[in-house]
C-alpha cells in the first residue's frame, strides 16, 4: 500500500479525470436542497426511536425496579409527550 502510489505509472487522461456516475454522464447539481420539514420529521423519528431503546430495558427489568422505576419511566414519557406537543403546536408534523 505504501509502494503502490510510488511505483505505478501516472498518466492522467480525460477519462480518468472525469466524474463517473454509473456509466452515465452526470447531470444536474450534486447538492440538492431539501425542505426543512424533512429534517425536522427525521429528527423527531430519531428521538422517538431512541425512546424505544431506553424503554425496552426498562420494560425487561420492570419488576426489579419497583415504584421508583415506574416514576422515572413516567417522567421520561411525560417529557417526550411534552416534546411531541411542542412539535405538534409548531406544526412540524403537518405537510401542507
Q: Could you tell me the CA-to-CA distances from 47 to 6, 41, 66 in Å, in that order?
A: 48, 10, 26
How confident is the model at residue 21, as a pLDDT?
A: 67
Which pLDDT tens digit goes with each residue over 71-96?
A: 999 999 999 999 989 988 988 888 77
Which pLDDT tens digit goes with each residue over 18-69?
A: 776 677 777 777 777 888 888 888 888 898 899 889 889 988 998 898 899 8
What the block records as the C-alpha cell of 61 is 427489568
Identify any residues that bridge with 21 across adjacent strands, giving them in sequence order: 24
> Could you tell me the sign of the dihedral formed by the alpha carbons of 82, 84, 85, 86, in that order?
positive
Q: How many CB atoms lie within 10 A of CB 35?
A: 9
Cα angle 91, 92, 96 (rounded to 5 degrees) comes to 70
How confident is the model at residue 5, as a pLDDT?
A: 84
Domains of the chain: 4-89 (1.20.58.1610)
Amino acid at each position: 500500500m505504501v509502494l503502490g502510489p510510488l511505483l505505478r505509472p501516472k498518466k492522467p487522461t480525460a477519462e480518468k479525470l472525469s466524474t463517473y456516475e454509473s456509466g452515465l454522464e452526470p447531470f444536474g447539481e450534486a447538492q440538492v436542497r431539501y425542505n426543512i420539514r424533512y429534517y425536522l420529521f427525521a429528527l423527531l423519528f430519531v428521538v422517538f426511536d431512541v425512546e424505544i431503546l431506553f424503554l425496552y430495558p426498562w420494560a425487561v427489568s420492570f419488576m426489579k425496579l419497583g415504584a421508583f422505576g415506574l416514576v422515572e419511566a413516567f417522567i421520561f414519557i411525560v417529557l417526550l409527550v411534552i416534546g411531541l406537543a411542542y412539535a405538534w403546536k409548531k406544526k412540524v408534523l403537518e405537510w401542507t
